[in-house]
Amino acid sequence: MAITKERLQQTFSEGGAQEIYEEIKASGDFIGFARQYAFNQDYRVARSALWGLTKANKEELSQLQVILNELINQAMQTDNSSVRRLSLNIVERLEMSEDDLRTDFLDFCFEHMIDVGEYPGIQSVCMKLAFRMCNFYPELIDELKRTLEAMEIDYYKPAVKCVRNRILNGKLK
């Protein structure tokens, strides 16, 4: 079955996302698929496309390196939490160098990692991304650790607590 906008609007299951991935893999055109569907204005299309892309392995996802900034922009600008979470998960799996550091994105990650009203999946990945970006500058790592230590940990879900503790204990790489 061909991947179409209409089909992506109807993909609501793990199995459906896996099928989308298998078809992208067979075509070998991860970047073409992402450009065509991952940034669609219809959040259902974007969500299904991104969900399928999250099934890719690191080598396959590396094709998306050229759209790193577009994925970051999408995560910061979307009003849809699923699209935000999936975009952030893909960004987290891509390479990031010191040259890729964007202060607007770092600020976004700091804001969303401590926002108790944010979904735990988004908080956790924002924390991981903030840690990766801060590692380029020792003074930023200190700021991150102070922020994490100041969190009222009782208000957070176990996933967030776990990532926070791994960073503070030096166990997150």
Instruction: Tell me the average pLDDT across 15-24.
Output: 94
Residue 11 confidence (pLDDT):
73
Does residue 5 have a pLDDT over 80? yes
Does residue 173 have a pLDDT over 80? no
What is the number of alpha carbons within 13 Å of residue 22 lying toward its C-beta? 7
What is the number of alpha carbons within 13 Å of residue 160 lying toward its C-beta? 22
Place of tokens 């924002």: 126
Instruction: Tell me the average pLDDT across 133-160.
Output: 93
Does residue 24 have a pLDDT over 90? yes
Number of H helices, E strands in the chain: 11, 0
Instruction: Tell me the average pLDDT across 101-110.
Output: 96
Residue type (1 letter), 105: F
pLDDT (tens digit per residue) in 41-79? 999 999 999 999 999 999 999 999 999 999 999 999 999
Helix (H, G, I), strand (E, B) or coil at 44: helix
Residue 1 confidence (pLDDT):
63
Does residue 92 have a pLDDT over 70? yes
Domain locations in the chain as residue ranges: 1-95, 99-173
